[in-house]
């Protein structure tokens, strides 16, 4: 009645001391683990009443059966242990062999490699930007209002009060006022600041900043308007909000997929940065085409946009001649190449002709 079905040779560890015992596990004809024989002590431990758990198979690592009170049996006999698992009727054990089979199915491995690459590519190139776009446009208005402090932060860190004459500031404000009025829904407001070289930026709460260097650089009112429309494009597409959402989603994705963050430290930093730049160029192109549409709507020559771009390019080239290459890199990494932007204008012209 108590027939032995099989013996499995391995190691027994009692969980109280680190002494290893050469051991032999006994399974009876009812598929139950009954005893463990310890070779050196000539001792027989009974396990008839005990619960045991067979650890899942993982590559070629040793097989483990854990019993009550942290006792452990370790061996390398994969076939026998798999038999014990198959005799267990529990759902969880079935699931466990399933995982091992998955990991050793060559076709599936190839397939999942390709699927994973395609999925991640799709997620990064299409998924995240379009989700961020939808989220940005559906975010309630008040969230943008809260961001009002971002100008305060910039004022404290990079900006100083504008050094343009009050008269010049008034001139420009008067120039843009009628245009801003027609984009009321964006709640645009133009301010002047010194610092940050020649630059114009749009903050999510509708504040558009022209820096002194930028204003001095422009040679006509139309150029100012062209850049104003570009910034209004950022506002109307809610690019700042999109970007924040994208950054958050990218971070979460990386943390979730890699699981243990430290493995990826070396490799996550770089692609995340590159992606951010790629996303940013997309935004610039979107803002450019918005500006072009608005310019032609208001019958302002598109050449003014080209002039503004050329002026900025000249300015940054001159800057970089003085202080090595960093300036030019800074400018061109987040923005598309000027040539590319001018090409866009030519295409736009052709379409409208």
Partner 1 sequence: MTHSADTPPVSNTNTPTQSHRKIGFEFRGDGIEYFKIWIVNILLTIVTLGIYSAWATVRNNRYFYSNLYLDNDNFRYLADPLTILKGRLIALAAFIAYYVASIFLPIISGILAIALLIAIPYFINQSVAFNNRMSSYKNIQFRFKGSYGQAFMVIYIWPILGILTLGILYPLAILKANEYFVRNSAYGTSNFDFNATYKDYGMIFLTALGIAVVVGVPIALITYFVPVFAIISPVLFGIMYFALIVYALVSFTNLFYASLNLVEHKFEAKLTITGQTKVILINLFLTIITLGLYLPAAKVRMTKYICSCLTMHANGDLDNFIAAEKENISALGEEFGQVFDFA
Binding residues for partner 1, rule: CB under 8 A, are: 11, 13-20, 58-62, 64, 70-72, 74, 99, 102-104, 108-109, 112-113, 115-117, 119-120, 143, 146-147, 149, 153, 244, 248, 252, 255-257, 259-264, 267
Q: How far is it between the farthest Cα atoms of the chain?
A: 108
Smallest distance from the beta carbon of 51 to partner 1, in angstroms? 16
DSSP labels for 126-153? Answer: IIHHHHHHHHHHHS-HHHHHHTTHHHHH
Task: Determine phi and psi for 83, rounding to 5 degrees.
Answer: -60, -45
CA 149/CA 246 separation, integer angstroms: 21
**Shortest Å, Cβ 60 to partner 1:** 7
1 or 270, CB closer to partner 1? 270
CB of 93 to partner 1, least distance (A): 16
Residue (19 or 42) nearer to partner 1, CB: 19
CA 65/CA 69 separation, integer angstroms: 12
Q: In what order do the strands lie in the sheet with 200-202?
A: 160-161, 189-194, 207-211, 200-202
Nearer to partner 1, 146 or 352 (CB): 146
Min dist. Cβ of residue 308 to partner 1 (A): 31
- State the nearest-atom distance from the C-beta of 87 to partner 1, in Å: 23
Using the minimum distance from each CB to partner 1, give the nearer residue, 1 or 106.
Answer: 106
Q: Which is nearer to partner 1, 119 or 126 (CB)?
A: 119
Contact, 77 vs 68, CB < 8 A? no
Conformation bin of residue 15: beta by default, left when phi > 0, alpha when psi is -120 to 50: left
């Amino acid at each position: 009645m108590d027939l032995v079905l099989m013996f499995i040779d391995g190691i027994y560890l009692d969980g109280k001391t680190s002494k290893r015992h050469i051991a032999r596990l006994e399974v009876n004809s009812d598929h139950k683990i009954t005893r463990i024989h310890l070779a050196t002590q000539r001792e027989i431990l009974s396990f008839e009443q005990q619960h045991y758990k067979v650890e899942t198979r993982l590559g070629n690592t040793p097989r483990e059966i854990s019993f009550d009170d942290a006792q452990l049996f370790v061996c390398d006999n994969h076939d026998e242990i798999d038999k014990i698992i198959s005799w267990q009727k529990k759902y969880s054990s079935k699931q466990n062999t399933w995982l091992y089979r998955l990991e050793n199915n060559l076709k599936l491995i190839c397939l999942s490699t390709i699927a994973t690459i395609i999925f991640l590519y799709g997620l990064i190139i299409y998924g995240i930007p379009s989700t961020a776009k939808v989220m940005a446009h559906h975010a309630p208005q008040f969230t943008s209002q809260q961001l009002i402090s971002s100008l305060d932060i910039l004022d404290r860190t990079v900006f100083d009060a504008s050094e343009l004459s009050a008269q010049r500031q008034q001139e420009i404000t008067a120039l843009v006022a009628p245009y801003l009025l027609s984009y009321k829904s964006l709640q645009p407001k133009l301010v002047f600041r010194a610092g940050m070289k020649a630059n114009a930026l749009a903050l999510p709460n509708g504040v558009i900043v022209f820096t002194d260097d930028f204003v001095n650089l422009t040679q006509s009112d139309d150029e100012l308007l062209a850049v104003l429309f570009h910034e209004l494009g950022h506002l109307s597409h809610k690019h700042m909000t999109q970007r924040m959402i994208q950054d958050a989603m990218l971070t979460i994705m990386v943390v979730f997929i890699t699981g243990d963050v430290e493995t990826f430290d070396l490799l996550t930093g770089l692609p995340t940065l590159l992606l951010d730049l790629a996303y940013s160029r997309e935004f610039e192109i979107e803002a450019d085409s918005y500006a072009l549409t608005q310019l032609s709507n208001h019958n302002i020559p598109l050449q003014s946009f080209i002039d503004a771009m050329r002026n900025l390019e000249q300015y940054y080239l001159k800057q970089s001649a003085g202080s090595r290459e960093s300036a030019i890199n800074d400018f061109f990494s987040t923005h598309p190449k000027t040539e590319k932007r001018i090409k866009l204008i030519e295409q736009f012209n052709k379409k409208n002709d």
